[in-house]
């Protein structure tokens, strides 16, 4: 194959990739990008709330048990445990979201797993690692089920909510209720409702886990209601239009 034909084939493949990205929702609108950035930043910062709640139980100098380059314990001051590590997660999360935004403007499409990690990696690390570190510094079990359950549920709901936001028809993960068939306006409305419901409830369960040790049952109940809410919302809308 000549160089000219090779270039043409590469350009065709590139055009197909770009169009496929637009059709199947790999590209994120400016509005969705801002919403996801704000929600993930709040999730990254959530462990600070737990740090403030447990402030008096955290020693002024927390011995991490890690050995630094000088051979001594790599201890952390209390303010670093509570504010610095979650704050660093916020910064790295902001940089990743901005990099994905810049790549999208250049029509460069990172692989799906890179996009997933770029948007959700640091919120997950902050909630589980930074939050667990705060608990451990306060003398609690780092990832007790009472803390882990609402956090994992909240993160899962937020990721699903992000998928529902401006969900394209034909997307791999979407709501396929029978009453949404052949009704694109209602389909869009129900998906947006699901997106906001799951993002807000997901973030709420994460925050609740930071401010209370009794959040497990409440989080499970809230998550179940949130998961069912789009069906009831969409069904009521469909019935009202008959």
239: containing domain = 144-242
User: Which of 141, 161, 179 is the last residue in one of the domains?
Assistant: 141
Q: Note the pTM of the prediction, 2 decimals.
A: 0.81
Q: Work out the average pLDDT over 70-80.
A: 76
Q: Work out the average pLDDT over 130-134.
A: 94
- Say if CB 205 and CB 219 are below 8 A apart: yes
Q: Work out the average pLDDT over 118-140.
A: 93
- Residues 135, 192 share a domain: no
- H or E segment at 217? helix 216-240
Q: Which of 102-111, 152-161, 207-216 has the lowest mean pLDDT?
A: 102-111
- Residues 157, 120 share a domain: no
The span from the CA of 191 to the CA of 180, in Å, is 10
The total of structural domains in the chain comes to 2
Q: What is the mean pLDDT of the chain?
A: 82
- Residues 117, 193 share a domain: no
Closest CA to 74 of 90, 89, 85: 85
Q: Work out the average pLDDT over 19-33.
A: 61
In angstroms, how far is the first alpha carbon of the chain from the final one?
A: 59
Tell me whether residue 9 is in a domain.
no
Q: Is the pLDDT of residue 212 over 50?
A: yes
Q: Is the pLDDT of residue 101 over 80?
A: yes
- Residues 202, 114 share a domain: no
The span from the CA of 184 to the CA of 181, in Å, is 8
Q: Is the pLDDT of residue 214 over 80?
A: no
């Amino acid at each position: 194959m000549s160089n000219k034909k090779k270039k043409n084939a590469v350009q065709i493949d590139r055009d197909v990739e770009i169009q496929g990205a637009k059709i199947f929702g790999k590209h994120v609108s400016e509005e969705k990008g801002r919403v996801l950035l704000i929600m993930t930043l709040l999730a990254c910062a959530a462990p600070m709330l737990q740090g403030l709640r447990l402030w008096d139980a955290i020693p002024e100098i927390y011995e991490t048990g890690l050995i630094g380059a000088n051979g001594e314990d790599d201890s952390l001051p209390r303010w670093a445990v509570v504010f610095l590590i979650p704050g660093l997660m916020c910064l790295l999360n902001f940089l990743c979201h901005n990099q994905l935004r810049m790549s999208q403007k250049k029509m460069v499409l990172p692989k799906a797993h890179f996009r997933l990690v770029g948007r959700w990696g640091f919120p997950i690390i902050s909630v589980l690692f930074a939050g667990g570190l705060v608990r451990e510094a306060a003398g609690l079990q780092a990832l007790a089920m009472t803390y882990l359950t609402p956090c994992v549920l909240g993160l899962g709901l937020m990721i699903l909510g992000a998928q529902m936001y401006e969900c394209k028809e034909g997307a791999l993960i979407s709501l396929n209720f029978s009453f949404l068939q052949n009704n694109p306006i209602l389909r869009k409305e129900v998906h947006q409702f699901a997106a906001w419901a799951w993002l807000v409830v997901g973030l709420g369960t994460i925050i609740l886990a930071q401010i209370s040790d009794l959040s497990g049952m409440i989080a499970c109940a809230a998550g179940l209601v949130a998961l069912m809410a789009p069906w009831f919302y969409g069904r009521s809308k469909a019935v009202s239009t008959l």
